[in-house]
Structure 1
Amino acid sequence: MAAPLLLSDLYIYPVKSLGGIRVAEAEIEPRGLRHDRRWLIVDHRNQFMTQRQHADMALLHVSPAYNGFLLTHQQRPELLPLYVPFEATPERTLFVTIWDDMVFAWRGTPEADAWLSEALGRECRLVYMSDMVVRNVEPELNPADAVVSFADGYPFLLAGTEALAELNTRLAEPVPMNRFRPNLVFSGGAAWEEDAWHEFQVGGLPFRAVRPCGRCVMTTIDQQTAQKSAEPLRTLATYRTQAGKVMFGQNVTGPGRGTLRVGDPIAVVSRR
Structure 2
Amino acid sequence: MSATLSLTGLFLYPVKSLGGYAVDEAEVTTRGLRHDRRWLLVDERNRFMTQRQQPELALLTVAPAYNGFLISHRQRPDLLPLFTPFEATPDRTLFVTVWDDILWAWRGTPEADEWLGEALGRPCRLVYMSDMVRRDVEPELNPEGKLVSFADGYPYLLAGEAALADLNTRLAESVPMNRFRPNLVFGGGEAYEDDAWEQFQIGEVPFRAVRGCGRCVLTTIDQATAIKSPVGDPLRTLATYRKAENSTLFGQNVTGPKQGHLRVGDAVTVLSRK
Q: TM-score, normalised by structure 2?
A: 0.98
Q: Go from structure 1 to structure 2 and tell me whether the alpha carbon gap of 1:269 and 1:2 turns closer, same or farther (over 3 Å shift).
A: closer
What does residue range 101-250 of structure 1 map to in structure 2 within 5 Å?
101-229=101-229, 230-250=232-252
2:263 is the counterpart of 1:271: no
Letter in 2 for 1:253: T
1:205 is displaced (CA, Å) by 1.2
Which residue is equivalent to 1:36?
Answer: 36
1:3 is displaced (CA, Å) by 4.4
Which residue is equivalent to 1:16?
Answer: 16
Please give the per-residue CA displacement for 1:133-170, whole angstroms capped at 9, x wherever unaligned: 00111012323431110000011000000000000000
Letter in 2 for 1:156: Y
Letter in 2 for 1:269: L
* CA distance in structure 2 between the aligned counterparts of 1:176 and 1:232, rounded to whole angstroms: 10
Letter in 2 for 1:137: V
* CA distance in structure 2 between the aligned counterparts of 1:213 and 1:5, rounded to whole angstroms: 20
SS of the aligned residue for 2:159 comes to strand
Letter in 1 for 2:224: Q
Aligned partners of 1:2 and 1:188 also within 8 Å: no
SS of the aligned residue for 1:46 comes to coil
Letter in 2 for 1:241: K
Question: Identity over aligned residues, as a percent?
Answer: 72
* CA distance in structure 2 between the aligned counterparts of 1:214 and 1:14, rounded to whole angstroms: 22
Aligned partners of 1:2 and 1:190 also within 8 Å: no
* CA distance in structure 1 between the aligned counterparts of 2:84 and 2:147, rounded to whole angstroms: 24
Over the aligned positions, Cα root-mean-square deviation in angstroms equals 0.9
Structure 1 stretches of 4+ with a deviation exceeding 4 A read: none
Aligned partners of 1:15 and 1:41 also within 8 Å: yes
Aligned partners of 1:136 and 1:148 also within 8 Å: yes
1:4 is displaced (CA, Å) by 1.0
SS of the aligned residue for 1:140 comes to helix
2:104 is the counterpart of 1:97: no
Letter in 1 for 2:216: C
SS of the aligned residue for 1:57 comes to helix
* CA distance in structure 2 between the aligned counterparts of 1:245 and 1:266, rounded to whole angstroms: 27
* CA distance in structure 2 between the aligned counterparts of 1:158 and 1:83, rounded to whole angstroms: 29
Which residue is equivalent to 1:59?
Answer: 59
Letter in 1 for 2:64: P
Please give the per-residue CA displacement for 1:31-56, whole angstroms capped at 9, x wherever unaligned: 00000000000001100000000000
Please give the per-residue CA displacement for 1:223-271, whole angstroms capped at 9, x wherever unaligned: 0100001110010000000001100000000011000100000110011
Letter in 2 for 1:111: E
SS of the aligned residue for 1:96 comes to strand
Gaps of 5+ in 2: none
* CA distance in structure 2 between the aligned counterparts of 1:49 and 1:168, rounded to whole angstroms: 29
* CA distance in structure 2 between the aligned counterparts of 1:131 and 1:20, rounded to whole angstroms: 21
* CA distance in structure 2 between the aligned counterparts of 1:153 and 1:82, rounded to whole angstroms: 28
Aligned residues: 272
Letter in 2 for 1:149: S
1:2 is displaced (CA, Å) by 6.7
Letter in 2 for 1:224: A
* CA distance in structure 2 between the aligned counterparts of 1:176 and 1:196, rounded to whole angstroms: 24
1:103 is displaced (CA, Å) by 0.3
* CA distance in structure 1 between the aligned counterparts of 2:145 and 2:192, rounded to whole angstroms: 30
* CA distance in structure 1 between the aligned counterparts of 2:38 and 2:236, rounded to whole angstroms: 31
